[in-house]
Chains A and B, each alone.
Chain A
Amino acid sequence: MCTMITQSVKIVGSGKHNNEWIKLQQANVSFDHPFHAPYEHTLNIDFVNESQRVAVELSESAARDLVQTILSVLHQAEAEGHIGKQSA
């Protein structure tokens, strides 16, 4: 690998793969060469289970925006009392 910047986290959830929903067990996050996105390096997330992969390649700024947006949505959900009631 070129940058060697990679980390993994266990996750619980589902992803859509080849038009079917699959269970996801881990997210592999790296900053390295993309296969498709038009940049030298991207923030890559591979949502995987034992045999399948749902891949995302984001520009650095898109990745930062996404992180902020996810946190913002979670804060709003928490503030409105949705977290704790039904979240897993």
Chain B
Amino acid sequence: MHTTDKYTGVHAETVMMKGANGDEINAYLARPLGDGKFPAMVLAHHMPGWDEWYREATYKFADHGFITMTPNLYFRSGHGTPEDVAAKVRTEGGISDDQAVADLEGAMKFIRGLDNFNGKVGIFGTCSGGRHAYLTACRVKGFDAIIDCWGGNVVMEKVNAKMPVSPHEYTKDLSCPILGLFGEEDSSPTPEQVKIHEDELKKHGKNYEFHMYPNAGHGFFYYHRPAYRVEQTLDGWKKIFAFLEKNLS
């Protein structure tokens, strides 16, 4: 917990990193300043893109003592405002699961090369980023915690070429504890889909903690959207940092 007498500092910048297929992509990296070793977080941004909310979230995790890296998963679709790039990706039918997973794995490997990393790394995502985070935590070894915030299409009825496997089918391969935060009024994932996911975690004996918030829909953390729910958001962040304290210290 931060107290007013403590030194605090964060260095935040965009850097280049190696992603899927060895491609160089950019990423937002925020590093706590000060002595000692720090745990780390990889963030998977949401469908609206590599945007301001994700730069703020990257900084927030760093301010709480985590080396945090958010790769630009839409890098290959060109540059412009985050929403113009995201609109282009939307028209292209999204990005492929393989590419997203490899980009997020690349961020984890980048962090592992940093001197002041304590060896424990988690992954966090919201919306499509929650789905990408879950896929990555299942398909890539080396993560110590995963936080899925209202990831849609974790339980898919219809797959396609870019998203060929419903992520919940990888559940048996999940190798770290998971925290899931969801809203009862969400239409993707619906509470029924969250239940299917939860049953799968239970079936495979996974360490999970799911919270379904009443009076909350999709994206209830987003203070700039009407879906924002202050009480649920404050409680959600509290649960996130308690979960990370437990699993990454």
Point out residues on A near B: beta carbons under 8 Å: 1-4, 6, 8, 28, 30, 32-33, 35, 38-41, 44, 46, 48, 53, 55
Contact = CB atoms under 8 A, between A and B. Distances in A.
A53 B93 contact: no
B125 interface: no
Interface string B215-241: 001110000011100000000000000
A53 to B, nearest CB: 6
Nearest to A33: B47
A46 B87 contact: yes
A28 B91 contact: yes
Interface in B104-159: 127-128, 152-153
Given A32-B47, A38-B225, A3 B188 contact: yes
Contact of A2 (B47, B83, B87, B91): B47
A6 B127 contact: no
A35 B128 contact: no
B86 A35 contact: yes
A55 B163 CA distance: 26
Given A30-B91, A33-B47, A35-B48, A2 B226 contact: no
A1 B93 contact: yes
Interface of B: 47-48, 83-84, 86-87, 89-91, 93-94, 127-128, 152-153, 160, 163, 187-188, 217-219, 225-227
B48 A28 contact: no
Given A32-B47, A38-B225, A2 B152 contact: yes
B84 A30 contact: no
Contacts of B127: 2, 33
B94 A55 contact: no
Contacts of A32: 47, 90
B101 to A, nearest CB: 16
Contact of B91 (A40, A41, A46): A46
A55 B93 contact: no
Contacts of A8: 91
Residue from B47, B83, B86, B90 with most neighbouring chain A CB atoms (10 Å): B90
Given A30-B91, A53-B87, 16 more contacts: A1-B89, A1-B94, A1-B128, A2-B153, A2-B188, A3-B188, A4-B93, A4-B160, A32-B47, A33-B219, A35-B83, A40-B219, A41-B187, A44-B90, A46-B87, A46-B91
